[in-house]
């Protein structure tokens, strides 16, 4: 594959928390704008690849360890241990051929797409990924943050009770019966619509191709990325992510020497009488450059969403059925 691809991936979140910060609130910048990090999008992509039997290196995996004091525990594997497991290597320290290690890294689908920082003793390898994904900002202005109180079926065994006054470990107090169960909080966004820009630059692996460490970013690699870009958020149903789904994606395939800006900055999202409206304000830009654009595919939720913007060469598809609209 030689041609560049520019695009945007849209994620809808209804009464869910697509990307929380360490306080549990939806992640935001200093101005209060809500956004999702690229890691929030890449994780369900990696999980989907892993579930499909692909080699995925940078994903949490566990091992069982026995501790003399604490008994049997499940701990995350180190990068070295994950590499050894994935590529059936007995001990990474004994591998003297760095070229072989780099070739193995390229055989992991997440590395082939997103690159890697492999910092192990004697094997300090850095790969800039062919696929670069930016931060996904919420474009819906009426988003609110909702907090739900959740009652646990268990009491907190660490809390000491003194009548109706409960003394917590941090010294704070609550009015609570001794037999009461604990309360938790679930924080969600009422409704949010995140739009992530991305670019695919196959030439990023030119030097590695010349050294024989990879065949480069191929059409098959692009096909696999495209699939998870369209469905991985919808497929990833956890408690916090139920209510999150893929609602939009655009793929603009161009000549290899055409350079486009971040397309997500030219997208608006509004609602009119309950109708979701996505406005593509980059139509003039793409139309003027259409002679250098090879293909444009736009996927969206045609049951719920109206698209505004007339783009030359664009083909429109239902994001769920993949049928042309």
* Position 229 pLDDT exceeds 90: yes
Q: What is the pLDDT of residue 170?
A: 45
Strands 145-151 and 293-300: unpaired
Alpha carbons 278 and 267: distance in angstroms, whole number: 7
Q: Cβ neighbours of residue 1 under 8 Å, at least 6 residues apart?
A: 202, 216, 217, 218, 219, 221, 222
Shared domain for 115 and 227, answered yes or no, is yes
Is residue 171 very low, low, confident or very high in pLDDT (cuts 50, 70, 90)? Answer: very low
Is the Cβ–Cβ distance between 247 and 233 less than 8 Å? no
Instruction: Give the mean model confidence (pLDDT) for residues 177-188.
Output: 70
Residue 180 placed within a domain: yes
What is the rounded average pLDDT for all residues in the chain? 90
Model confidence pLDDT, tens digit, residues 130-139: 999 999 999 9
Is residue 175 very low, low, confident or very high in pLDDT (cuts 50, 70, 90)? Answer: low
Shared domain for 135 and 159, answered yes or no, is no
Shared domain for 170 and 100, answered yes or no, is no
3-class state of residue 271 by DSSP? strand
Percent of the chain with pLDDT over 70: 90
Shared domain for 159 and 308, answered yes or no, is no
Is the Cβ–Cβ distance between 269 and 17 less than 8 Å? no
Residue 220 placed within a domain: yes
pTM to 2 decimals? 0.89
**When comparing pLDDT for 242 and 207, which is higher?**
207
Residue 324 placed within a domain: no
- Give the dihedral of Cα atoms 145, 133, 227, 282; nearest 10 deg: 90
Last residue of a domain, one of 159, 186, 213: 186
Q: How many domains does the chain have?
A: 2
Model confidence pLDDT, tens digit, residues 32-54: 999 999 999 999 999 999 999 99
Residue 325 placed within a domain: no
Backbone CA torsion sign across 72, 75, 78, 80:
positive
Residue 306 placed within a domain: yes
> CB 191: neighbour CB atoms within 10 A?
18
Residue 11 placed within a domain: yes
Shared domain for 102 and 159, answered yes or no, is no
HSE-up of 128 (CA within 13 Å, CB side)? 9
Q: If you write DSSP's letter for every residue of 44-74 in order, what string do you get?
A: HHHHHHHHTT----SS--EEEEEETTTEEEE
Model confidence pLDDT, tens digit, residues 261-286: 999 999 999 999 989 999 999 999 99
Instruction: Give the mean model confidence (pLDDT) for residues 235-247.
Output: 82
- Domain residues for the domain of 171 are 149-186
Shared domain for 205 and 228, answered yes or no, is yes
Shared domain for 179 and 275, answered yes or no, is no
């Amino acid at each position: 594959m030689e041609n560049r691809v520019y695009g945007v991936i849209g994620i809808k979140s209804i009464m869910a928390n697509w990307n929380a910060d360490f306080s549990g609130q939806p992640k935001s910048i200093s101005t209060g704008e809500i956004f999702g990090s690229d890691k929030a999008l890449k994780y369900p992509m990696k999980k989907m690849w892993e579930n499909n039997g692909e080699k995925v290196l940078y994903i949490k995996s566990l091992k069982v360890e026995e501790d003399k004091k604490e008994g049997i525990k499940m701990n995350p594997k180190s990068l070295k241990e994950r590499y050894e497991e994935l590529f059936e290597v007995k001990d990474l320290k004994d591998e003297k051929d760095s070229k072989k290690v780099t070739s193995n890294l390229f055989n992991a689908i997440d590395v082939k797409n997103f690159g890697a920082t492999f910092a192990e003793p004697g094997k300090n390898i850095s790969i800039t990924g062919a696929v670069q994904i930016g931060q996904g900002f919420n474009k819906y202005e009426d988003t609110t943050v909702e907090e739900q109180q959740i009652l646990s079926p268990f009491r907190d065994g660490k809390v000491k009770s003194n009548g109706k006054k409960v003394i917590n470990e941090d010294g704070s107090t609550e009015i609570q019966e001794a037999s009461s169960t604990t309360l938790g909080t679930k924080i969600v966004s009422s409704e949010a619509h995140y739009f992530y820009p991305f670019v695919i630059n196959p030439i990023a692996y030119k030097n590695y191709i010349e050294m024989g460490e990879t065949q480069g970013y191929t059409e098959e690699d692009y096909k696999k990325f495209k699939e998870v870009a369209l469905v991985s958020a919808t497929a990833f149903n956890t408690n916090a992510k139920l209510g999150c789904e893929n609602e939009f994606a655009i793929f603009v395939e161009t000549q290899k020497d055409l350079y486009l800006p971040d397309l997500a900055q030219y997208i608006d999202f509004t609602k009119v009488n309950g109708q979701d409206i996505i406005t593509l304000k980059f139509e003039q830009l793409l139309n003027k450059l259409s002679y250098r654009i090879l293909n444009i595919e736009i996927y969206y939720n045609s049951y719920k969403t109206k698209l505004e913007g007339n783009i030359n060469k664009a083909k429109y598809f239902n994001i769920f059925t993949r049928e042309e609209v």
